[in-house]
Structure 1
């Protein structure tokens, strides 16, 4: 049975990557993963929002991509070195800060793809998700260790979120598919609800018809990131991709829902 995160609806699913920041709002200083960015993705028609989380110095799980504030806020400190209050002040006028708990509460009809960005945030993030909204969250991470720790924390809190494969798990899936061994593929995809992958890694194709078929045969969805060209979105949809992760929610809705 498919996890309730994957609600019935039009396909492919549209994921607003770090929310959505239109060009004019970016010029005004609005940042990715901010309250305004999440609200804008929802307003544009994204059924899902992909976002990231880190832990502040005072133990708050906040929506933020980078480990430091340098790229987005011009501050060299790490997220883990600032308090939630400090980050609130820095994000004022930049779209506004959201905590993970706040995002789940403020957008009760939105499904969230939460990327666990550090080892220290895995347990508290998983605990919040498990207690607050496990049916509408997919936990992912570059690190399979962090992902599995977050999932375990969610289970301990009484919930069972969906989960996406981390880097090592994706490598195992690709290797298993290459062998064409049903046993190895079953093992590699066990416990995974979605593969979220790029179309290519340099010159090497990641998405193949065999990978797509083997995943679908086991009830695993395949989501592509990060796709911003409407023509490519339509081509991938025609191939049977289950989700598009995009910076351009506006273009995705026009291309895939009109």
Structure 2
């Protein structure tokens, strides 16, 4: 059975990477989610996709230039589907406390060696504190990040995010000891899927929003799909 992950919560239905978005995902009975992390200036893990604040909040500057206490006051509704009430940028800790997901894909974007190490250790510490070490997979397309995770926090499951096929995604995933391969759906051929699954990888495809495509990829046998519309995915594929 193909599992469903809500992309940044329920990005097509509520402002992405906000508490409202993750609650919306859970309301559909979808108990798996994907989200993006950046660190605040004072080292807290914040749930936001871009390294800058402009697109989702309208504020200037980078996430890393602001303390967490400032960031949680910024309304991240901009550019998303209409929403009546303010949706602050959440701390990851807040989501861990309020959202009972069965599994989390935590994506870390590219980072310097020092930043990658800091992020890996911060994620390991926070997930352990909340008893969620076994319920997260930290994903990245960055070799620096995957390398830091493998070296410093081997207790955390790792996943490769693969957007392009110019390097064999399967080889890269195996090199970093990944258990999950998050594939851009355009790269998901039946051959590549089968090969990855035979190598023991969970194959998660993104971002899948069309019912016909959901059905096709489920028929291929993908392990999970990541969608902006978890409610639609449940209707299309049956209960998650």
TM-score (norm 1): 0.77
* Counterpart for residue 244 of structure 1: 225
Once residues 58 and 110 of structure 2 are traced to their aligned partners in structure 1, the CA distance between those partners, rounded to angstroms, is 21
Mapping 1:21-40, distance limit 5 Å: 21=11, 23=13, 26=14, 31-40=15-24
Once residues 168 and 226 of structure 1 are traced to their aligned partners in structure 2, the CA distance between those partners, rounded to angstroms, is 11
Once residues 120 and 163 of structure 2 are traced to their aligned partners in structure 1, the CA distance between those partners, rounded to angstroms, is 17
Residues 187 and 162 (structure 1 numbering): CA distance in 2 closer, same or farther, change over 3 Å? closer
Q: Please list every run of 5 or more consecutive structure 1 residues that lacks an aligned counterpart in the other structure.
A: 1-10, 177-184, 201-205
- Tell me the alpha carbon deviations over residues 78-134 of structure 1, each in whole angstroms, 9 at most, x when there is no partner: 001111111111138432332122222322443110001253234322332345311
Greater gyration radius: 1
- Tell me the alpha carbon deviations over residues 165-217 of structure 1, each in whole angstroms, 9 at most, x when there is no partner: 1459975434x7xxxxxxxx6994662211111122xxxxx222221111111
Residues 145 and 244 (structure 1 numbering): CA distance in 2 closer, same or farther, change over 3 Å? same
Q: 1:61 and 2:45 equivalent?
A: yes
- Please report the RMSD computed on the Cα atoms of aligned residues, expressed in angstroms: 2.6
* 1:243 Cα deviation from its structure 2 partner: 0.8
Residues 168 and 249 (structure 1 numbering): CA distance in 2 closer, same or farther, change over 3 Å? closer
* Counterpart for residue 149 of structure 1: 148
Residues 191 and 22 (structure 1 numbering): CA distance in 2 closer, same or farther, change over 3 Å? closer
* Counterpart for residue 99 of structure 2: 107
Deviates more, 1:223-232 or 1:111-120: 111-120
TM-score (norm 2): 0.83
Equivalent residue pairs, number: 224
Once residues 126 and 172 of structure 2 are traced to their aligned partners in structure 1, the CA distance between those partners, rounded to angstroms, is 30
Moved >6 Å (runs of 4+): none
Residues 230 and 137 (structure 1 numbering): CA distance in 2 closer, same or farther, change over 3 Å? same
Task: Compare the two structures and name the one with the higher helix fraction.
Answer: 1
Out of 31, 39, 58, the position equivalent to 1:74 is 58
